Amino acid sequence: MDLDYWWLLLIPVVFGLGWMAARFDVKHLLSESANLPRSYFRGLNFLLNEQPDQAIDAFIEVVKLDPETTELHFALGSLFRRRGETERAIRVHQNLLNRSDLPEIEREHAMFELGQDFLKAGLLDRAEDTFKSLNSGAYASDAQRCLLTIYEIEKDWAKAIETAEILEKLSAQSFRKEIAQFHCERAQEALQKKDGELSSAELKLARAANPANVRATILAGDVEMAIGNPDGAVEQWRKVETQSPAHLPLIVERLMKAYGALGKDAEGARLLTQYLDKYPSNDLLDIAYTYIAQQIGPDAAHQLVRAQMQKAPNLAGMSRLLEAQEGSAEEPRRSELELMRGLIRQRTKNLPRYTCQSCGFRARLFYWQCPGCSGWETYAPRRVEPMASGG
């Protein structure tokens, strides 16, 4: 019986061993942290308290005391860059690169960081050279992505296309949308230089890269108009309806101009009314109202806006409706209508804007590339009214 419980004796022994091991661990930790300079902990503390200025001073001291700490160099470099102190960031990363004993992976890392410093400092040439030197290795794909950003800033669309194609191979991610847009940019430049032939060639490449690209269709109409072929322009712009009806408000004014050039205003007005029936929107209503009032007369425009308001009532449409009624009203009714319209205008004084779906940047004009986040095709082609403030 006694023999069966002999192992109970082991319990205090195991406890004792555990206690000793823990003590050893703590001792080891203490001795290791004793090797770390005090400034390191001071720096950490400042960082945790969101006092980056003081943190940087503390870390600089550590780096001076122990120049071998590469991780700390990287942390310092990126802290400097984030604060816009690009000169100091550049110096930190160049110091690292000057070390002969730096392992290859860390050399690439430092090179990539240095490229980002140059980019942030606006030194695009030097950033480009730095990223180009990373054409292989762990940072190759990230470096190409930064090169693409540089070429977009420089509007060097030929190099942008080349880089996007390399990126597709490196990252297995599609850049078709971007490549088509780069060709459209080239087509637009050619159009501005009145080179219709080059423009058409670029548009063909844009469509080959991304058949869904509606900008190429719109630009193809512009090319036709520029070479004095409104028939061809009408043909191109009418394709927008099947390709992406949401983009119609962007082209209907041009389309009506082309109908006008052909002496077919009535046909244009009929098409416009059809579009409005099928794809009602405030943008389209605004354009149609003005056009129909000019081409057919105020009564027809009034009728148009009344029909739209019955389908989809909203404040902007209401303002238009009152405006239409004012035209034929007599005093004092006219002044009353004006007063009502003024009140509605107060509620809608924040003009509708195009809004980037990626970063929320709001713009009066429509952009294919967002000026806020540089994303391509991030704007929905319809203007949105911000919520009116209460009161």
CB closer to Zn ion, 65 vs 373: 373
SS (H, E, C) the chain: CHHHHHHHHHHHHHHHHHHHHHHHHHHHHHHHHHHCCHHHHHHHHHHHCCCHHHHHHHHHHHHHHCCCCHHHHHHHHHHHHHCCCHHHHHHHHHHHHCCCCCCHHHHHHHHHHHHHHHHHHCCHHHHHHHHHCCCCCCCHHHHHHHHHHHHHHHCCHHHHHHHHHHHHHHHCCCCHHHHHHHHHHHHHHHHHCCCHHHHHHHHHHHHHHCCCCHHHHHHHHHHHHHCCCHHHHHHHHHHHHHHCHHHHHHHHHHHHHHHHHCCCHHHHHHHHHHHHHHCCCHHHHHHHHHHHHHHCCHHHHHHHHHHHHHHCCCHHHHHHHHHHHHHHCCCCHHHHHHHHHHHHHHHCCCCCEEEECCCCCEECCCCCECCCCCCECCECCCCECCCCCCC
Query: What is the smallest separation between the CB atom of 252 and Zn ion, expressed in angstroms?
Result: 25
Query: What is the smallest separation between the CB atom of 66 and Zn ion, expressed in angstroms?
Result: 43
Query: What is the smallest separation between the CB atom of 363 and Zn ion, expressed in angstroms?
Result: 9
CB closer to Zn ion, 164 vs 370: 370
CB closer to Zn ion, 74 vs 367: 367
Query: What is the smallest separation between the CB atom of 72 and Zn ion, expressed in angstroms?
Result: 35
CB closer to Zn ion, 67 vs 371: 371
Query: What is the smallest separation between the CB atom of 221 and Zn ion, expressed in angstroms?
Result: 26
CB closer to Zn ion, 252 vs 370: 370
Query: What is the smallest separation between the CB atom of 378 and Zn ion, expressed in angstroms?
Result: 5
Which residues within the stretch 319-378 sit at the binding site for Zn ion (CB under 5 A)? 356, 358-359, 361, 370, 372-373
CB closer to Zn ion, 139 vs 361: 361
**For the window 95-124, what string marks contact with Zn ion as x by the rule CB under 5 A?**
------------------------------
CB closer to Zn ion, 191 vs 370: 370
For residue 223, state whether it binds Zn ion (rule: CB under 5 A): no
Please give the size of the binding site for Zn ion, defined by CB under 5 A. Answer: 7
Query: What is the smallest separation between the CB atom of 89 and Zn ion, expressed in angstroms?
Result: 26
CB closer to Zn ion, 245 vs 375: 375
Query: What is the smallest separation between the CB atom of 379 and Zn ion, expressed in angstroms?
Result: 8
Chain residues in the site for Zn ion (CB under 5 A): 356, 358-359, 361, 370, 372-373
